[in-house]
């Protein structure tokens, strides 16, 4: 895919502008502007900390770059949360399509792995080493939008505001201090988004659950799978009635540990979820697992964890499409009545 946005322009304000003479080419690959070489981490000789700071600067600019692609190329809207935050309160945000809350057909929610990367990325290193098509969620977003449904891109790793100056610190009433080896850094938790779990639950409560779509699909990578199961446990009946399918990619969830022995949740996962895992087997071939067997598990078509999302992109949407057709034709999910002693005794009395 071709991108008109320039990474070099975003690097103009960086102190590492000269040391980061990179941009994305027509294929979406990060290359040195002069030499056309891939990114080199060890720019400074025998100076890991300086190289790491340079890498962090690139990561920060990459996040801004992807944000602009989400808005400019995918036409998504940035939504700040919590919705009732005051002016000086640390806020997080996520992205959604214009029709995300109004489309009655379907809604696709993207939930990434944990790490230093933010909304729109499956992995920062993957963006740098493999390119935008493999490291960002843009191909997923575009494919979901082709189906005329809505899209929500969560931002589960945007949990803290980093404050370095006294002026910044004085504007925030709630403070949490953390120190590094070289400087003091204040980390202020963002309300309703201090963890991936809290962020996802907030967006579910205030947006996804209130959307017009009766059929919601989640695509969850790595730790995102654990976050989804947490949501399922916390909002059991809401999620079970509104979510028609979940595509896990190398998920870190553990149903037994997270859901205990709840048979309804276990049965729902078996019927509504499928997982793609890194494997040497061809794409889509069944993969057995002795650790967790709670839903059909197939190969992602690659042994590389970082390339799993892009490798099974088309397979996932084929699964979602076929599942949506099946669920649309079938009767809607209804909450099963819970048997109680009183209800049981009433049945006996009525016989």
Look up residue 286 and give its DSSP letter: B
HSE-CB for 283 with a 13 A CA cutoff: 14
> Looking at the chain, how many residues does it have?
351
From first to last of its 351 residues, the chain has per-residue pLDDT tens of: 455 577 877 877 777 777 888 999 999 999 999 999 999 998 888 899 999 999 999 999 999 999 999 999 999 999 999 999 887 788 999 999 999 999 998 999 999 999 999 999 999 999 999 999 999 999 999 999 998 899 999 999 999 987 764 444 444 444 444 433 344 457 889 999 999 999 999 999 999 999 999 999 999 999 999 999 999 999 999 999 999 999 999 999 988 788 777 899 999 999 999 999 999 999 999 997 655 557 999 999 999 999 999 999 999 999 999 998 887 665 555 555 444 444 444 444 444
- 161 alpha-carbon distance from chain centroid: 19
Whether the upstream peptide bond of residue 82 has omega within 30° of 0, thus cis, is yes
Per-residue buried b or exposed e for 23-39, using 16+ beta carbons within 10 Å of the residue's own CB: bbeeebbbbeeeeeeeb
**Which pLDDT value is given to residue 12?**
74
- Which contiguous run of DSSP H or E holds residue 248? strand 243-249
Q: Which CATH architecture has domain 76-157+193-330?
A: 3-Layer(aba) Sandwich (3.40)
> How buried is 165 (Cβ within 10 angstroms: 0-12 exposed, 13-18 middle, 19+ buried)?
exposed
Q: Tell me how many degrees the CA angle 129-72-80 measures, rounded to the nearest 5.
A: 95
Given this model, what pLDDT does residue 342 score?
Answer: 41
Residue 169 DSSP SS3: helix
Radius of gyration of the chain (CA): 22
SS3 306: helix
CB 31 within 8 A of CB 23: yes
pLDDT of residue 177: 41
Can you spell out the DSSP letters for 171-226?
T-SS--EEE-SSSEEEEEEPTT-SSHHHHHHHHIIIIITTSS-S-EEEEEETHHHH
Over the stretch 160-193, which tens digit does the pLDDT of each residue have? 987 764 444 444 444 444 433 344 457 889 999 9
CA–CA separation, 122 vs 115, rounded Å? 10
Q: What is each CA distance from 8 to 3, 117, 346, in whole angstroms?
A: 13, 19, 73
3-state secondary structure string, 113-146? CCCCCCCCECCHHHHHHHCHHHHECHHHHHHHHH
pTM for the full model?
Answer: 0.86
| All residues at 6 or more sequence positions from 122 whose CB lies less than 8 Å from its CB, including other chains | 112, 113, 134, 135, 136, 137, 221, 306, 309, 310
Please report, for the chain, the start and end positions of each structural domain, with discontinuous segments joined by +: 1-73, 76-157+193-330, 159-191
Residue 186 near residue 164 (C-beta atoms within 8 A): yes
Whole-angstrom Cα distance, residue 2 to residue 205?
36
What are the helix (H) ranges across the chain? Answer: 7-10, 48-72, 124-130, 132-135, 138-146, 166-170, 196-203, 223-234, 236-242, 255-259, 263-272, 308-311, 313-329, 341-350
Rounded Cα distance between 264 and 243, Å, is: 15
């Amino acid at each position: 895919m071709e991108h008109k946005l320039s990474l070099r322009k975003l690097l103009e304000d960086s102190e590492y502008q000269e040391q980061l003479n990179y941009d994305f080419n027509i294929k979406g690959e990060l290359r040195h502007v002069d030499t056309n070489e891939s990114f080199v981490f060890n720019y400074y000789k025998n100076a890991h900390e300086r190289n790491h700071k340079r890498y962090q600067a690139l990561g920060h600019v990459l996040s801004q770059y992807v944000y602009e692609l989400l808005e400019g190329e995918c036409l998504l809207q940035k939504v700040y949360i919590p919705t009732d935050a005051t002016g000086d309160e640390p806020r997080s945000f996520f992205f959604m399509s214009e029709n995300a809350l109004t489309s009655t057909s379907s809604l696709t929610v993207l939930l990434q792995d944990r790490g230093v990367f933010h909304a729109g990325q499956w992995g920062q290193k993957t963006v740098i080493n493999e390119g935008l098509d493999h490291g960002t969620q843009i191909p997923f977003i575009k494919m979901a939008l082709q189906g005329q449904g809505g899209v929500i891109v969560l931002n589960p790793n945007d949990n803290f505001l980093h404050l370095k100056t006294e002026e910044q610190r004085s504007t925030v009433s709630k403070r949490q201090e953390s120190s590094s080896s070289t400087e003091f850094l204040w980390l202020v938790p963002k309300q309703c988004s201090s963890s991936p779990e809290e962020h996802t639950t907030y967006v579910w409560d205030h947006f996804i659950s209130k959307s017009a779509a009766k059929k919601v699909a989640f695509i969850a990578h790595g730790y995102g799978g654990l976050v989804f199961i947490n949501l399922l446990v916390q909002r059991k009946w809401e999620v079970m009635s509104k979510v028609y399918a979940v595509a896990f990619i190398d998920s870190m969830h553990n149903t037994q540990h997270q859901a205990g022995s709840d048979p309804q949740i276990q049965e729902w996962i078996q019927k509504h979820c499928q997982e793609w895992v890194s494997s040497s087997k061809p794409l889509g071939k069944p993969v057995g697992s002795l650790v967790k067997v709670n839903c059909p598990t197939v190969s992602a078509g690659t042994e590389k964890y970082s390339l799993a999302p892009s490798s099974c992109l088309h397979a996932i949407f084929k699964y979602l499409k076929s599942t949506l057709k099946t669920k649309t034709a079938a009767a809607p999910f209804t909450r099963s009545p819970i048997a109680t002693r009183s209800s049981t005794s009433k049945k006996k009395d009525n016989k």
